[in-house]
Amino acid sequence: MTLTLYGVARSRAARVMWTCLELGVPFEHVPVTQARRVADPLAPDAPMNTRTPAFLAINPAGQIPAVVDDGLVMTESLAICFHLARKHGGPLAPSSLDEEALTLNWMLWAATQCEAHAVTIVLNVADAAPGNGDEAAVAAAKAALRPRMEQLDAALAAGGGHLVGGRFTIADLIVAEVMRYVQPAPDLFEGLPALGAWMAACQGRPAHRAMQGMRAAEPA
């Protein structure tokens, strides 16, 4: 099996890296950074980025991550992670049709209900220069996220600290990665003990720490 991962850990490729590390799946890593982080993306000496023709041949949308798995090209991070969990089995994957339905439900919930608001927070709080963040956008994102985080906290409390099947699965991994974008606003986690404990447990996993090490090694 040959799996090639295009992207950097400072992107949604992080969730694919974490998935591979949880599964023990080796991969060839081709660093591809976002074009916005490169002064001249098309310069002859520019690092490979999302506007580089060689990468656009893999993903014409010019977005990371992308993978080539034994000839199968995939360009959506949620689908990639779900595919890898299903392909390689083990406790990370759904074990029944009901678990598969719940897994997809939580993954899509995170993507459609939470991620845009979470990204607003990380871009305007963690990544913005002091005083340059859009305070109104952050306030709106917080207002939208809080009831969703309360929903997540209640589900985790009911599920014994996990989202599906009473164990850590790809659903936990994906939702935790989306919630990581919210961590620059710690006030949103106040009064949500199940969510806080779950985040700590997810981010304490050896595979997550290894992914964060890859992230820390990259240029800021």
What's residue 1's pLDDT?
Answer: 61
Q: Are residues 104 and 176 in the same domain?
A: yes
- Calculate the alpha carbon distances from 67 to 2, 4, 14, 79 in Å: 10, 5, 13, 11
Of the candidates 90, 119, 150, which is a domain's last residue? 90
Q: What's 36's domain CATH number?
A: 3.40.30.10
Per-residue confidence band for 118, with pLDDT thresholds at 50, 70 and 90: very high
Q: Are residues 54 and 114 in the same domain?
A: no
Task: With beta carbons less than 8 A apart as the criterion, state whether 48 and 13 touch.
Answer: no
Confirm whether 112 is domain-assigned. Answer: yes
**Per-residue pLDDT tens for 119-168?**
999 999 876 666 677 899 999 999 999 999 999 999 999 999 999 999 99
What's residue 127's pLDDT?
Answer: 66
Of the candidates 33, 60, 90, which is a domain's last residue? 90
Confirm whether 67 is domain-assigned. Answer: yes
What is the residue range of 57's domain? Answer: 3-90
Beta-ladder partners of 30: 6
Report the length, in residues, of the chain.
220
Report whether pLDDT(70) > 90: yes
Report, as an integer, the average pLDDT of 31-55.
Answer: 95
Confirm whether 219 is domain-assigned. Answer: no
Q: What's 192's domain CATH number?
A: 1.20.1050.10
**Per-residue pLDDT tens for 21-30?**
999 999 999 9
Q: Are residues 21 and 101 in the same domain?
A: no
Which position has the higher pLDDT, 176 or 2?
Answer: 176
Q: Are residues 10 and 113 in the same domain?
A: no
Helix (H, G, I), strand (E, B) or coil at 162: coil
Q: Are residues 105 and 204 in the same domain?
A: yes
pTM: 0.95
Alpha carbon distance 88, 66 (integer Å) = 18
Report whether pLDDT(101) > 80: yes
Beta-ladder partners of 6: 30, 66
Q: Are residues 174 and 126 in the same domain?
A: yes
Alpha carbon distance 145, 76 (integer Å) = 23
Q: Are residues 75 and 144 in the same domain?
A: no
Q: Are residues 22 and 115 in the same domain?
A: no
What's residue 219's pLDDT?
Answer: 84
Give CA 178 to chain center in angstroms: 6
Of the candidates 75, 90, 105, which is a domain's last residue? 90
Task: With beta carbons less than 8 A apart as the criterion, state whether 98 and 161 touch.
Answer: no
Q: Are residues 124 and 142 in the same domain?
A: yes
